Amino acid sequence: MPIARELIRKAYRLISAGSPTVPLKGDDLSLGLETFNELLEYYAATGLMLTIAKTVSFALPAGQGEVVYGPATFLPVPDVTNGRLANLNSAWLDLSGTIYPLIDKSRDVFLESYKYDPLTGLPRFVVVFPEDKVTRLRLYPAPSTAYTLYVRGKFQAARVAVNDDLTGLPDYFTRFAYFAVARDVAFFKGRADAWTDKLETLYNEAKDVMEAASEVNLSITGDSEALLNGANRVRAGV
């Protein structure tokens, strides 16, 4: 797995701006690194180009109706520090082995129909409030007892430094990154003519592979009319 420096060097070679024996010059390295970090943030806008979804748990205390997801460097420190939640696939609660799926509600519907006034019980809905550096998940109603909250989604990758390794990225993402960085750098370096139709074809092929591998679910499925049985309602504090 290459380090960021080698990824940038290889990207420059695609547009004939570098060679195996000639080091990068001037601001080549810093420009390539900044371009790569900009692309990482750009891909997190919708989550489509972030290919690695993961499940993250959080010990949700009674009465806490909002959970913040973001980087550990953000202040105040978020509840979950896996990075900004870029795309939510599904969310559910666990109480003593009983699973309670959460139902997605759009922000507009939530703000028009529900109140933030204290209301506790079994959370049934989750609403996503994305912000610049963090994402806030609002649970409604707020939990009347402690749960374990599970979220499966895509989290924005942290910015990389020039000597960071890219172990967290799959090989097909790295291959795509070569072309993506070269494509943007070619225009910033005045080498637009070096970006040929053949390179554009290879870039699109790699992008198609990225999108095909992407795990994206824009809705959380669940039965809003589901009725819990008596025992489960008692355990959930309903």
The predicted model gives 163-175 an average pLDDT of: 87
- For residue range 88-147, what is the model confidence (pLDDT) as tens digits? 999 999 999 999 999 988 887 777 766 556 678 889 999 999 998 999 999 988 999 999
Q: How many CB atoms lie within 10 A of CB 118?
A: 9
Query: Which is more confidently placed, 236 or 6?
Result: 6
pLDDT, mean over the chain = 84
Confidence of residue 64 (pLDDT cuts 50, 70, 90): very high
- Interatomic CA distance for residues 180 and 16, integer angstroms: 15
Structure tokens at 120: 């506790």
pLDDT of residue 146: 95
pLDDT of residue 220: 40
The predicted model gives 220-232 an average pLDDT of: 44
Query: Which is more confidently placed, 124 or 230?
Result: 124
Q: Which of 26-30, 77-81, 106-110, 226-230 has the lowest mean pLDDT?
A: 226-230
CB 196 within 8 A of CB 179: no
Structure tokens at 136: 């806030």
Residues 167, 168, 173, 176, CA torsion sign:
negative
* Four-CA torsion 173, 179, 184, 186, nearest 10 degrees: 160
CB 170 within 8 A of CB 55: no
Distances (CA, A) of 13 to 7, 18, 82, 154, 178: 10, 5, 34, 31, 9
pLDDT at 231 over 60: no
pLDDT of residue 138: 92
